[in-house]
Amino acid sequence: MTSKILTAGKFTAYQKIILAILALLQFIVILDFMIISPIGYILTKDLDITTNQFGLIVSSYIFSAAASGIISAGFIDKFDRKNVLLFFFTGFIIGTLFCALSNSFISLLTARIITGIFGGVIGSITMTIVTDLFTPNQRGRAMTTIQMAFAASQIIGIPIGLFIANNLGWHYTFFLIVILSVLILLVILLKLNPVNEHLKVNGKNPFFHFWDLAKNKQHQIGFSATIFLGMGMMLQPFISIFLVNNIHITNDQVPIIFMVTGASAFFVMPFVGKLSDKFDKFKIFLIGSIATIVIIPLYTHLPIVPLWVVLVMNVIMFAAIMSRMGPFQALNSMIPEPSARGGYMSISSSLQQMAGGLGITIAGSIVYQPTPNSPLQNFDWLGYVAVSLSVVAAYLVYKVSKIVKHNRL
């Protein structure tokens, strides 16, 4: 049975089911990646590891995920999307189980590498399936729905994971992820039909397929846009430090800020998705980019203000930054031919991960604290860098939109 595709703007019952499944899948994968940082203070004490070793544990997932995405790009279009998803999700579950069973730095590091190898590809497979099953005038809503998993992990997953880690131990947080993952795996196995239309036209050798993906000039523009958007997320890791040390927000208030910000995404993302399906996707992206360019300098120059001001500013900045991603992902998915879509999305996902890591590394060389309790220095300069990256990204996404319009003529 081939994939079910609707040509009208409304979703079928099947599409709604698959969208819910894929959103849950993204939720669990993002939670697995994000939970490691909040439980870091528990891990370092329990495993008696240094902060440098903990940083290696966190970064090992990112780099193994990026490498896996590049390596798999040549092969991913050779198989049914459902089978590829089941393979990588099974590997992700095994890696997470190893995390739960880890009792030393080496064992946890190894487990995170295994989890990254499999988990890092799942995002690109998910977006590829969405592109295969949803038409261009549905993808804005579909992709923003998938991206809401990030917000859900912030306001639901991380608090639950922290509660379990604090009361039962960090191992049980990973056990919970394993249990939920197995349930989702079974649902995918039973509900997702084969997604194999692309196999009718893809018969290339994996190496040549990868080379064709990489040398395509239209693809290179899409990859460049992905890199600059990924690097532009450099502010996020330092926001809590800035709020606590510069704005004097208390430690107890920080979770409230992130929960409210995450909750706002449930309203912002669907709205942006509908707009991007109804109007020109680049125009919606551009509005989000302009809002981003305006709000970031205001945010990074905040003086000491009440909590409600921080909440409002945080929600606006998050909405502006994230409202660009749905329209861009929808446009980006239209660049490759169906036979190359899986490999293209896999490379894009890897580049986004590597760009995010590079952006954080650059940000870490810009901002600093003389002491752990002193104000974060140069956060305003980091904001200027993020704005500059946003301007370049907007230009590149404009070129992506021109490519898409040309290809559809």
pLDDT of residue 7: 43
Report pLDDT for 201: 57
Instruction: Please give the biggest Cα pair distance in the chain.
Output: 62
Residue ranges in 279-335 assigned as alpha helix (H): 281-300, 307-322, 325-332
Q: What is the model's pLDDT at position 241? A: 72
Q: At what angle do helices 13-34 and 170-191 cross, to 10 degrees?
A: 160
pLDDT at 4: 46
Q: Which residue has the tokens 């760009």?
A: 355
Q: What's the length of the chain? A: 409
* Ranges of each domain in the chain: 13-407
Q: Which amino acid is at 186?
A: L
The amino acid at 129: I
- Using CB atoms within 10 A of its CB, is residue 199 exposed (0-12), middle (13-18) or buried (19+)? middle
DSSP label of 376: P
Instruction: Give CA 113 to chain center in angstroms.
Output: 18
**Helix, strand, or coil here: 377?**
strand
* CB-based burial label for 271 (10 Å; 0-12, 13-18, 19+): middle
- Helix H or strand E encompassing 21: helix 13-34
Q: Is domain 13-407 in CATH 1.10.3720.10, yes or no?
A: no
Q: Looking at residue 94, what is its pLDDT?
A: 96
Q: What is the DSSP string of 53-101?
A: HHHHHHHHHHHHHHHHHHHHTTTGGGS-HHHHHHHHHHHHHHHHHHHHH
The dihedrals phi and psi of 377, each to the nearest 5 degrees, come to -95, 145
Residue 365's H or E segment, with its range, is helix 341-366
CA distance 142 to 144: 6
- Residue 158 — φ and ψ, nearest 5°? -65, -45
Count of C-beta atoms within a 10 Å radius of residue 183: 12
The rounded distance, in Å, linking the Cα atoms of 332 and 198 is 18
Per-residue pLDDT of the chain (409 residues; tens, 9 = 90+): 444 444 446 788 888 888 888 888 988 988 888 777 667 667 777 888 776 677 678 778 877 887 787 777 666 767 788 888 999 999 999 999 999 999 988 999 999 999 998 987 887 788 788 877 887 777 777 777 777 776 677 667 767 777 787 788 889 989 999 999 999 999 999 988 887 776 665 555 555 666 777 778 888 888 899 889 888 877 876 777 788 788 988 767 777 777 787 778 777 777 777 777 777 888 888 998 999 999 999 999 999 899 999 999 988 988 888 788 878 887 887 888 766 666 777 778 778 777 877 777 787 778 877 876 788 888 899 899 999 999 999 999 999 888 888 776 5
Q: How far apart are the C-alpha atoms of 289 and 272, rounded to whole Å?
A: 13
156 Cβ neighbours under 8 A, 6+ residues apart: none
Q: What is the pLDDT of residue 176?
A: 92
Position of tokens 């049975």? 1
The tokens describing 222, both together, are 């899409």
| pLDDT value at residue 168 | 85
pLDDT at 41: 62
CB of 250 closer than 8 Å to CB of 307: no
Q: Please give the structure tokens belonging to residue 153.
A: 């992990």
Distance of CA 333 to the CA centre of its chain: 15
CA distances from 257 to 163, 263, 367 (A): 18, 10, 22
- Check residue 370 and report its DSSP letter: S
